[in-house]
Amino acid sequence: MRRSIMSIPVIALALIASTLPGRSDNTGSADATIRMAETKAAAPEFTGLSNWQNSGPLTMAGLRGKVVLVNFWTYGCVNCVNTLPHVTKLYSKYKDKGFVIVGVHTPEFPFERSTSNVQAALKRHGITYPVAQDNNSATWNAWRNQYWPAQYIVDQSGRIVYSHAGEGAYDEIDRTVGKLLNAQS
């Protein structure tokens, strides 16, 4: 498969980022998009999640057959907050068609660990999809995530087919979800 020269910086960024320890905040650059369509890595299981809101505990194994968007975020991150209207709109559009969003609230700061603060943020932003707290970063680490916000699209067979870090790529995320849902019809 041929790659354009424009994709080389994205691939280099992804390779460099995958070797760095710890977390980093993303500025929302479109260059942070990482597509995994070629490898289709198996989605890791959720681990260490607590205080599920809007649902009981979910598992990746239990979500097989659905298209899943795993959204890593924290309510204190302005970039995360900027993506929420798009994420909630996507949920409203596809929730009755085999689509699930799982919000993984992974705090950066101690005050973001508070369940009542997370609940207030869900109410403030009109979030009705399932959200769990990842206060010890166990799922964050299992997914080898490094950014707030980060979205991972998992297909019906449990494979990660797309990921994006930062703001933007809303139309591409919508198209990817729609394409996967139409493939099952």
pLDDT in tens, 150-171: 999 999 999 999 999 999 999 9
What does the pLDDT read at residue 73? Answer: 98
The distance of Cα 153 from the centroid of its chain, to the nearest Å, equals 7
pLDDT above 90 for 23: no
Amino acid at 119: Q
The pTM of the full predicted model, rounded to 2 decimals, is 0.80
Please tell me the distance from the alpha carbon of residue 41 to that of residue 26, in angstroms, as a whole number: 23
Strand partners, 99: 67
pLDDT in tens, 64-109: 999 999 999 999 999 999 999 999 999 999 999 999 999 999 999 9
Domains and CATH numbers, the chain: 32-184 (3.40.30.10)
pLDDT above 50 for 47: yes
- Burial label for 71, CB within 10 Å (0-12, 13-18, 19+), is buried
What does the pLDDT read at residue 9? Answer: 41
Residues 60, 46: contact at Cβ < 8 Å?
Answer: yes
Closest CA to 41 of 169, 166, 182, 145: 145
Give backbone dihedrals phi and psi of 179, rounded to 5 degrees, phi first: -65, -45
Amino acid at 104: V
